[in-house]
Structure 1
């Protein structure tokens, strides 16, 4: 059980408009909203749109349509797609991301990588760390120089977990080949900028949490080390495999086109999650999930 004496200021919903919101997103949002309600904290809607190739107006509009259809609330952030584009898009925070990248450059904490995707697949890792490739080389990404120091993660249950950087996050990318900041950096800077101190994520993003905590330490952002994380179980297929979000039938948009109501959507998610009690709204879904996980 969590320590109920822990106080939080803010949590967030952080969808990416690179596809239609799916049932896995809704499960995470319901847990986030339930924890926010329990602790009396604000919910920020923080949309990650730095992937300018895959982020489309249709997917962006779907974020607001789906949240309103399912009546999932938020307290801060854009009210609609136009307000998002005008004020809240990550493009408006490029100066913050670039300042962080420049600080990493000045500290000698990054190196240039010119490995192709094919090379990375064949070798399993980047081989550029000792090549001294100039950072301003065209089409070069920037990778963080990671170490083997233990990373402390403060969990919602009150436990502090200590782990080394996992193999798949060694020397992870902080600036992409197109010159834009990468996800691990933008997510960290955004959460610091908005004052988020409770982050709810799926278990599949545990390695991202470790990467962002390590990056925060290198940047001297000690406040991020005090952030509390809750990593929830993922939705599973009957076979036990992770529910594929690439399947169109898992998107809420598809379910609505099939004539399903808000109740139907939450009923389906309850089934995927293996809940004994069928939820009819986000409050019930979030509470039942947290009860099942033994943290509510």
Structure 2
């Protein structure tokens, strides 16, 4: 990028209340806040809560507890659980998701799939696209018809345009789940466009999702999505494994209840990144990490 920082209008912190937040989530939040400050953008808190089987009140509360404890700011979005449920839950945006799904259905860009998760996990090939299963079939998901040959373009934070094809595991990905709720890839695209997000910070593990969402936006006729800039950061690992949401030793809730201070948590994250400077607040850590890109 040029020496003059580019201005972005809005970035977002987008946790999912399916477990207690861990230090890997915090790293993403810190980078987001640091880049927002650098580029003069607003920070939206957008909580993805349509995985209704896994969402519960203690995980929702944990999001606010974590952000407030670490003093990570946000400018737009809910201030507490009640505000979220009353005004910001994705349930309030169901009509937007339904409209997008209707468009895909009317334009024949989806098909119904009745394969079970166990079948797919076992490596069985999904042949549902050729079966002409009615979209109204009970317990059927809707899958997007993707093309392996399509070259997708993503704007990278460093100014490059990355060109890539959709990875194999994302071909014909689900846009509506068997429970009738829209799937993550669709809600994420719709929400980012709805809120006017133009800078997204994500861990490297979500690169396949970034490509899937570029394809979906293209099929929805939303070229403005391709103008969003993506910043990818490395993942924190524990014994070589990606961190997962849990009540384990890397969850902020566990660390907080164990008497750790925010500075202790920032130093823990810094150490996991190989940074050995003294860190006392999120601004210091965010500046150090974001300046490495």
Same fold by TM-score greater than 0.5: yes
- The 1:98/1:151 distance shift into structure 2, 3 A limit, reads same
CA distance in 1, matches of 2:179, 2:131: 21
Q: Any stretches of 5+ residues in structure 2 without a counterpart?
A: none
2:286 is matched with 286
Deviation at 1:244, TM superposition (A): 4.3
Is the Cα contact below 8 Å between 2:7 and 2:40 reproduced in 1?
no
Is the Cα contact below 8 Å between 1:2 and 1:156 reproduced in 2?
no
- 281-290 or 154-163: which moved more? 281-290
Deviating 4+ runs (over 6 angstroms): none
2:261 is matched with 261
2:47 is matched with 47
Alignment of 1:28-177 (within 5 A): 28-147=28-147, 148-177=149-178
CA distance in 2, matches of 1:123, 1:56: 32
2:14 is matched with 14
Deviation at 1:112, TM superposition (A): 0.3
CA distance in 2, matches of 1:127, 1:278: 55
Q: Any stretches of 5+ residues in structure 1 without a counterpart?
A: none
- The 1:222/1:48 distance shift into structure 2, 3 A limit, reads same
| 3-state DSSP of counterpart to 1:7 | coil
Is the Cα contact below 8 Å between 2:48 and 2:90 reproduced in 1?
yes
Q: Please report the TM-score for the alignment, with normalisation by the length of structure 1.
A: 0.95
Is the Cα contact below 8 Å between 1:46 and 1:77 reproduced in 2?
yes
CA distance in 2, matches of 1:229, 1:153: 7
C-alpha deviations, 1:38-60, integer Å up to 9, x for none? 00110000000001111101110
Is the Cα contact below 8 Å between 1:24 and 1:245 reproduced in 2?
no
- The 1:152/1:3 distance shift into structure 2, 3 A limit, reads farther
Deviation at 1:160, TM superposition (A): 0.4
- The 1:79/1:247 distance shift into structure 2, 3 A limit, reads closer
Is the Cα contact below 8 Å between 1:12 and 1:43 reproduced in 2?
yes
CA distance in 2, matches of 1:2, 1:45: 29
CA distance in 2, matches of 1:4, 1:18: 39
2:199 is matched with 198
C-alpha deviations, 1:253-296, integer Å up to 9, x for none? 000111111111111111111113132211011111123xx32x
Deviation at 1:242, TM superposition (A): 2.8
- The 1:63/1:2 distance shift into structure 2, 3 A limit, reads farther
Task: Tell me whether 1:184 sits opposite 2:181 in the alignment.
Answer: no
How many aligned positions are there?
Answer: 292
Is the Cα contact below 8 Å between 1:14 and 1:46 reproduced in 2?
yes
- 171-180 or 116-125: which moved more? 116-125
CA distance in 1, matches of 2:263, 2:3: 32
- The 1:180/1:33 distance shift into structure 2, 3 A limit, reads same
- The 1:120/1:3 distance shift into structure 2, 3 A limit, reads farther
C-alpha deviations, 1:21-50, integer Å up to 9, x for none? 110010000000000000011000000000
Is the Cα contact below 8 Å between 1:3 and 1:157 reproduced in 2?
no
Deviation at 1:124, TM superposition (A): 4.6
